């Protein structure tokens, strides 16, 4: 794994201070506590988008991440409300269940050409939505409501994570939790991309036939990467369900799956941190265009097309060559 340069370490430190110190201080001073929810949403959406980016990294187009976010949200909600399991335990279980579903789907279809994978993932979100409407355990169209807030975690009598329900401002707690998950996700992504598995994924992206000829088990790596991607989607969905304290079949739709993909394109498919930047710009860009009224979608779509035409490698391609952290 390549070592980070001094500039990169400095940039990382500035980012962490800004996220965990400066932003909460500004929100507290301004009194705009609604920003906590906005920034928490950006953090969670970037986590799910990171999974989509990873499938792009092996040359596959994933338009079904909303399905796994919905699966994660329902699994966590069911475990918390009906099985009485702690949310903190349900969180990884939701991710693992989403990963298991992705393996069952991925084993047969990831052996096929990429176009079939893209077509199947395109309908996945709608399939999961219809399943949630039909199953009794998901409570149909009524969804699952009154999901308890995350409880306390204590180690040897010492409170590590407080009971969110007892906090004056649970939004701040969700903000810190989501940002911590985002930092851990992208740190793990950076480590994975620069590991042996990441090098194999890169070789598959460049030439699958050549990679196969030197003994790379292409189908196996595809399934592993798809499982990791779906795990991240499940984690993001579970956190969203806990924040909203409810989950419905319409909580994640096909448009969400498309947006996860657009986040990757906008930030840069060649950069590990592309999904994070893309999510931030796309989320706030949409809100800024709200004043345009009925022309909002038209201008929004036009700007995206222009950006992709003139910046095909995403916004991070604007960086000075040789600076920053890339996925390559």
Residue 325 has pLDDT above 50, yes or no: no
pLDDT band at residue 324 using 50, 70 and 90 as cut-offs: very low
Residue 40 has pLDDT above 70, yes or no: yes
Residue 150 has pLDDT above 70, yes or no: yes
- Segment 267-292 mean pLDDT: 87
Report the b/e string of 11-38 with b at 16+ CB within 10 A. Answer: eeeeeeeebeeebbeebeeeeeeebbee
pLDDT band at residue 24 using 50, 70 and 90 as cut-offs: very high
Contact 55, 225 (CB under 8 A): yes
Residue 230 has pLDDT above 50, yes or no: yes
pLDDT at 111: 78
pLDDT at 114: 66
Residue 279 has pLDDT above 60, yes or no: yes
């Amino acid at each position: 794994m390549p070592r980070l340069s001094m500039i990169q370490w400095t940039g990382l430190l500035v980012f962490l201070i800004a996220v965990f110190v400066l932003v909460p201080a500004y929100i507290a001073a301004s009194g705009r506590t609604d920003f906590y929810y906005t920034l928490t949403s950006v953090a969670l959406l970037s986590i799910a988008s990171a999974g989509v980016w990873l499938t792009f990294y092996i040359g596959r187009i994933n338009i079904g991440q909303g399905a796994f976010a919905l699966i994660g949200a329902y699994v966590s909600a069911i475990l918390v409300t009906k099985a009485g399991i702690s949310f903190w335990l349900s969180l990884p279980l939701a991710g693992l269940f989403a990963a298991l579903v992705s393996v069952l789907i991925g084993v047969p279809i990831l052996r096929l050409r990429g176009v079939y994978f893209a077509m199947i993932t395109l309908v996945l979100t709608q399939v999961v939505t219809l399943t949630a409407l039909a199953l009794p355990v998901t409570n149909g169209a009524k969804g699952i409501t009154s999901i308890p807030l995350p409880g306390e975690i204590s180690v040897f009598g010492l409170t590590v994570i407080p009971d969110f329900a007892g906090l004056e401002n649970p939004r701040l707690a969700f903000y810190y939790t989501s940002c911590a998950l985002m930092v851990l996700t992208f740190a793990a992504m950076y480590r994975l991309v620069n590991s042996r598995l990441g090098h194999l994924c890169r070789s598959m992206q460049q030439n699958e036939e050549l990679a196969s000829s030197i003994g790379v088990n292409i189908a196996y790596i595809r399934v592993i990467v798809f499982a990791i991607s779906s795990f991240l989607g499940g984690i993001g969905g579970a956190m969203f369900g806990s924040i909203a304290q409810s989950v419905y079949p319409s909580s994640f739709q096909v448009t969400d799956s498309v947006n996860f993909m657009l986040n990757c394109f906008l930030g840069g498919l060649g950069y590990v941190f592309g999904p994070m930047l893309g999510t931030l710009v796309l989320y706030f860009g949409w809100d800024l265009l709200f004043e345009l009224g009925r022309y909002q979608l038209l201008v929004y779509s036009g700007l995206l097309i222009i950006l992709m035409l003139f910046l095909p490698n995403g916004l991070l391609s604007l960086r000075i060559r040789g600076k920053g952290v890339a996925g390559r």
